[in-house]
A and B are shown apart, each in its own frame.
Chain A
């Protein structure tokens, strides 16, 4: 039933080659863009849905900086923490050198072996006290937390190795393939080879962010402040966070003239700022892809409509010699299907090329072929829908047109 129809359709198609070719080209580009955009969007949504590993909603950070070079930051820190922990509604408070999801923080790289040539893994560093895990809402998966005695007092030294270290599960797996790191030594890659014993493995969580959020975090038992500032992280009862943050800010801003509070912000704020970049990309890609698809559909619609109006007389003749309305609709839909097929074929090649290039240039995972398959089906359905209305119009051409001269 179908096969005898294809030949006349093909010869009709070949009469307006340029138009069909242009539409096929549009389809190819639209398919390539759509498939890869959908792939990127999926990655970004995955990124946004990744758990932080933290109690983001109920935690705020207060940043404190020394006012003069001789301020006693250690004493200031103890007083600040004592005050924060005394506030009703505060569940836990800790001093750290970095704020999760913000730019405030340090990074380093650690390795299984000493020396600058050992393969190292980049991590985000946090100097913490023994209360930090409870404040962050991070669990110990193996080994143990730091003890109070292990926390080194504030020193003016820059970031340096410590005898004990806690690492996240992700980092443990990257350093030791079985993830079994407890009791083993690791090394800061730009240090002289001081071994740091992994005393425990924590659940995955995001520390400060530089680039993409990462679960590779290492915790050092050091009183923060060697950079002249420290952060108090405070976890509160749900719902009290902002009110308590303002109370704490008012008190801390005036309680000690030797240091200043330069920041008071919820972790939610920083998380949203990180998510916003992904969200913007998702919105823009979705928008432009939708526009490309609609313009392509308009192109298909335009081509079919033109063909229909240019061939009114021939359609009339067809109808006069016995073609049913169905056959006329089928004629135009098959013609459109051929264009779609050619476009999709070129589009697949283009999509794969773009996908390869993206993964090569931007370290994106290789395009999942399911996306391509769904994209082809989607374009085929949309394309046929776009041609549907003009094809229906063609079917309504009365056979008598054949006898008229325009």
Chain B
């Protein structure tokens, strides 16, 4: 029966090639526009580590001054960063399965074989769990282990830095100077640049080429070197800081902290640990603001920090408006087309076809149109994305922002199938409802 319906549909579609092309084209355009904007939107808002969304939490604690909230526009939010005192205190807890603190350091790399000029790099100063916690892929070697302050400090290079300094060869075990201090290379990443850079949205979720993480160094070296952080640093008590020790014990916030809590029980225990620490500190005269300790998962973190640009949200809505117009157009065309063929339907009904059969037959036709539109839309969408990518590449602003991922394809196909079927349901249903008699006698 299905074969017969397909033959009927093909015949009907071939009878009006112009209308068919119009429907397929309109659906394809609408879907292509949605694919392009959805992919860009997905890249910007998407959770780049969704598979760990339920176990990764950003740690925040309101250490801000009594006068005003850290962000007057969002007074309920705790500041997104921690003080050195609080970060190191929370790091002492054994409750999280993994835990990291981090900041950003500008620095230079020298001393690679054949290196003629010092290389200016953005370093992420962090702790050893960083790589396992965020599933960072390695090309060679791995992260540093155990005590951060080993005899020879250890460094991890990004693939890009390794390519330019060591020609892409396995540099594990070689040494290099970071800020004039000898470091041993223990690992080289495979290209890794999560978008958005969820773990440090404060310093820019969409890093421009001048501030992408290029090397990774143990956090303890920051304080050993008495280096001021180059990431965002906010202090609510102003005035000059006397010395480095005073900076470390100040109320300045400059550290991002993440923990991995595999289940709700551990989460509650860690929350209790934070609250107890907070209460103890408050008794000593810190924390003038009300208790506001939070563990925030990645997707909420991206949301409350307003990572998605308003441009891409507007574009997404415009694209959906376009798809809706295309679908309305298709409904209109299908409706008129089916109505025009009403006399034939009348004959088929009179010959014994049931309403359901008429409905199914027309739905088959709708499905064929929608499939053709979806496929064409996918092709157009892929072409549009490479166009968008060319624009971004030319602007040199964001790296590989818009790439066509399998998830996107699945989404697009589902979107196409669902929307067109929805659009086709009404025409197919209304043609099935027509009383056959009228059409039999009129002509």
Partner of B319, one of A26, A227, A288: A288
| CB-based contact A69/B225 at 8 Å | yes
Beyond A65-B120, A227-B230, is A158–B332 a contact (Cβ under 8 Å)? Answer: no
Minimum CB–CB distance from A309 to chain B (whole Å) comes to: 8
B328, B339, B430 — most chain A CB neighbours (10 Å)? B328
| CB-based contact B326/A103 at 8 Å | no
| CB-based contact A295/B329 at 8 Å | yes
| CB-based contact A103/B68 at 8 Å | no
Partner of B332, one of A19, A33, A40, A69: A19
B residues in contact with A361, CB < 8 Å: 310
| CB-based contact A302/B19 at 8 Å | yes
A188–B240 alpha-carbon span in the complex (Å): 14
Does B223 reach chain A (CB closer than 8 Å)? no
Beyond A68-B179, A260-B118, A276-B395, is A306–B336 a contact (Cβ under 8 Å)? Answer: yes
Q: Chain A, 200-228, contact with B by CB distance < 8 Å: what is the 0/1 string?
A: 00000000000000000000000000011
Partner of B208, one of A103, A229, A284: A103
Does A360 reach chain B (CB closer than 8 Å)? no
| CB-based contact B340/A306 at 8 Å | yes
Beyond A103-B211, A263-B210, is A33–B204 a contact (Cβ under 8 Å)? Answer: no
Name the residue of chain A whose CB is nearest to the CB of B319.
A288
| CB-based contact B241/A158 at 8 Å | yes
A192–B120 alpha-carbon span in the complex (Å): 35
> Besides the contacts A117-B67, A190-B238, what 7 more A-B pairs have beta carbons closer than 8 Å?
A29-B321, A116-B68, A117-B68, A158-B228, A281-B314, A288-B319, A299-B325
| CB-based contact A291/B228 at 8 Å | no
Minimum CB–CB distance from B81 to chain A (whole Å) comes to: 15
| 9 A–B pairs (Cβ distance < 8 Å), ordered by A | A16-B336, A19-B336, A26-B329, A67-B108, A67-B180, A157-B241, A158-B228, A190-B235, A283-B391
| CB-based contact B319/A299 at 8 Å | no
| CB-based contact A296/B238 at 8 Å | no
Minimum CB–CB distance from B369 to chain A (whole Å) comes to: 14
| CB-based contact A37/B318 at 8 Å | yes
Q: What's the dominant secondary structure at chain A's contact region?
A: helix
B residues in contact with A29, CB < 8 Å: 321, 324-325, 328
| CB-based contact A40/B397 at 8 Å | no
Does B311 reach chain A (CB closer than 8 Å)? yes
Name the residue of chain A whose CB is nearest to the CB of B33.
A288
Beyond A117-B67, A298-B22, is A158–B240 a contact (Cβ under 8 Å)? Answer: yes
Partner of B329, one of A33, A229, A277, A298: A298
The 4 tightest CB contacts between A and B, nearest first, are A262-B120, A276-B395, A260-B118, A306-B336
Does A337 reach chain B (CB closer than 8 Å)? no
Number of chain A interface residues as a range: 35 or more
Does B202 reach chain A (CB closer than 8 Å)? no
Does A30 reach chain B (CB closer than 8 Å)? yes
B residues in contact with A299, CB < 8 Å: 325, 328-329, 332-333
Beyond A67-B118, A273-B396, A306-B336, is A103–B179 a contact (Cβ under 8 Å)? Answer: no
| CB-based contact B336/A302 at 8 Å | yes
* Contacting residues of chain B (2-18) with chain A, CB-CB under 8 angstroms: none
Partner of A65, one of B106, B324, B395: B106
| CB-based contact B108/A65 at 8 Å | yes
Minimum CB–CB distance from B246 to chain A (whole Å) comes to: 12
Q: Chain A, 283-301, contact with B by CB distance < 8 Å: what is the 0/1 string?
A: 1110011011001101100
Minimum CB–CB distance from A349 to chain B (whole Å) comes to: 15
| CB-based contact B180/A103 at 8 Å | no
Does B315 reach chain A (CB closer than 8 Å)? yes
Does A1 reach chain B (CB closer than 8 Å)? no
Partner of B239, one of A16, A37, A191, A262: A191
* Contacting residues of chain B (58-72) with chain A, CB-CB under 8 angstroms: 65, 67-68
A residues in contact with B397, CB < 8 Å: 273, 276-277
A309–B19 alpha-carbon span in the complex (Å): 14
Partner of B108, one of A191, A260, A280, A358: A260
Minimum CB–CB distance from B321 to chain A (whole Å) comes to: 5
A405–B22 alpha-carbon span in the complex (Å): 31
A residues in contact with B339, CB < 8 Å: 310
Does A2 reach chain B (CB closer than 8 Å)? no
Q: Chain B, 326-360, contact with A by CB distance < 8 Å: what is the 0/1 string?
A: 10110111011001100000000000000000000
Beyond A69-B226, A190-B236, A227-B230, is A288–B204 a contact (Cβ under 8 Å)? Answer: no
Does B322 reach chain A (CB closer than 8 Å)? yes
| CB-based contact A296/B230 at 8 Å | no
B residues in contact with A295, CB < 8 Å: 26, 29-30, 322, 325-326, 329
Does B117 reach chain A (CB closer than 8 Å)? yes
B311, B319, B324 — most chain A CB neighbours (10 Å)? B311
| CB-based contact A277/B311 at 8 Å | yes
B residues in contact with A232, CB < 8 Å: none
Name the residue of chain B whose CB is nearest to the CB of A258.
B180
* Contacting residues of chain B (28-67) with chain A, CB-CB under 8 angstroms: 29-30, 33, 65, 67
Partner of B443, one of A103, A260, A406: A406
Does B227 reach chain A (CB closer than 8 Å)? yes
Q: Chain A, 177-207, contact with B by CB distance < 8 Å: what is the 0/1 string?
A: 0000000000010111000000000000000
Name the residue of chain B whose CB is nearest to the CB of A157.
B240
Name the residue of chain B whose CB is nearest to the CB of A405.
B443
Does A18 reach chain B (CB closer than 8 Å)? yes
Minimum CB–CB distance from A70 to chain B (whole Å) comes to: 9
| CB-based contact B67/A116 at 8 Å | yes
A residues in contact with B326, CB < 8 Å: 295
Name the residue of chain B whose CB is nearest to the CB of A188.
B238
A residues in contact with B68, CB < 8 Å: 116-117
Beyond A33-B318, A103-B204, A302-B333, is A229–B238 a contact (Cβ under 8 Å)? Answer: no
Q: Chain B, 165-193, contact with A by CB distance < 8 Å: what is the 0/1 string?
A: 00000000000000110000000000000
B residues in contact with A291, CB < 8 Å: 29, 33, 322
Does A397 reach chain B (CB closer than 8 Å)? no
